[in-house]
Amino acid sequence: MAHEVILMGMGNPLLDISAAVDEQYLQKYDLKSNDAIVAEEKHVPMYEEMANNPNVEYTAGGATQNSIRVAQWMLQIPGATTYIGCIGKDKFGEEMKKNSKLAGVNVQYYEDESTPTGTCAVCVVGDQRSLVANLSAANCYKSEHLKRPENWALVEKAKYFYIAGFFLPVSPDSIQLVSEHAAAHDKIFMMNLSAPYICEFCKDALEKFLPYMDFLFGNETEARTFSKVQGWETENVEEIALRLSRWPKASGTHKRIVVITQGADPVVVAEDGKVKKFPVILLPKDKIVDTNGAGDAFVGGFLSQLVQEKSIEECVRAGCYAANVIVQRPGCTFPEKPDFN
């Protein structure tokens, strides 16, 4: 594979502020375990409290950025990936730039002068996590930045595009530009359901871009929420994955493949009207440090093989490997080199 951009991600860059808390802390802020929400007024004090926690850890985060960082780590090819999103001109923004460049990702941030860099409070309770995103600058991304010649040149170079559903309410016009480009040039366009609230509140946008999606990722909770919103009256993840895979396509070049993870249960892949299930690598509970970023890492591992045109089996195996590494470490972090073979 040539040493140039092959995979491009767009999303909400957030600096993860991660700390261990207890159940009472979740209750205090009306949070659910294993959920992801956008911060409201009542959540504002959390960020200061988390930052003052003696065990606080900072990592470059945001769902798409995590997946792109993991794909880059798995590929070990400098500059194979690029990532676009909006940050503020502040110390958190500088931290993010440093973090991403160290990971080898070619980041092209749009810098907003007047809004602070987005943050995400990662509340870790045992081996579960609850995410509260304060989008701030991440919410300010403008498609004008994407259209700049130097950035659009990256779009033209890339052959694979991945965008988490979290970007739908932020910059649908950017998603439209990229999805239409992919359809017109026989490239692969991929998205993620990302969170139950995205399936509920971004129903129209999801339906608008589904025809462009060659791959759709999600977890079992998101799939069931999507089904409920559509009035499908089924909680069966395999059935939901099949129905999603049969949703009409904008271009007939590629079929749609739907990949649904289910925590410790097998990964469900719907393709060509059939469902395949792939077991995940099961870990003893005492080995699990933090599930934050496990789903993002799965996608990153999967994409690292997909861009090398490996089989779906290999893509899933790499996804499971990457998720397995991530859950044994705090946050979405990884060792220097992967040992995936």
- Beta carbons within 8 Å of 13's beta carbon, 6+ residues apart: 60, 61, 62, 65, 83, 85, 86, 87, 96, 109, 117, 118, 138
Number of other residues whose CB lies within 10 A of the CB of residue 25: 17
Residues 21 and 18: their CA atoms lie apart, in Å, by: 9
Residue 33: DSSP 8-state = T
* Active-site entry in 16, 112, 290, 296: 296
What residues contact residue 291 under an 8 Å CB cut-off, 6+ apart? 34, 127, 128, 129, 327
Judge whether 296 counts as a catalytic residue.
yes
User: Parallel, antiparallel, or unpaired for β 7-10 and 119-125?
Assistant: unpaired
DSSP 130-189: EEEEE-GGGGG--HHHHHSHHHHHHHHH-SEEEEEGGGTTT-HHHHHHHHHHHHHTT-EE
Give every CB contact of residue 208 below 8 A, 6+ residues apart in sequence. 172
Structure-token pair, residue 132: 């509260």
Query: Which residues partner with 132 through β-bridges?
Result: 37, 121
CB 285 within 8 A of CB 294: no
SS3 at position 326: helix
Q: How far is CA 130 from CA 26, 155, 210, 260, 286, in A?
A: 8, 33, 27, 20, 19
Q: Which residues are catalytic?
A: 296
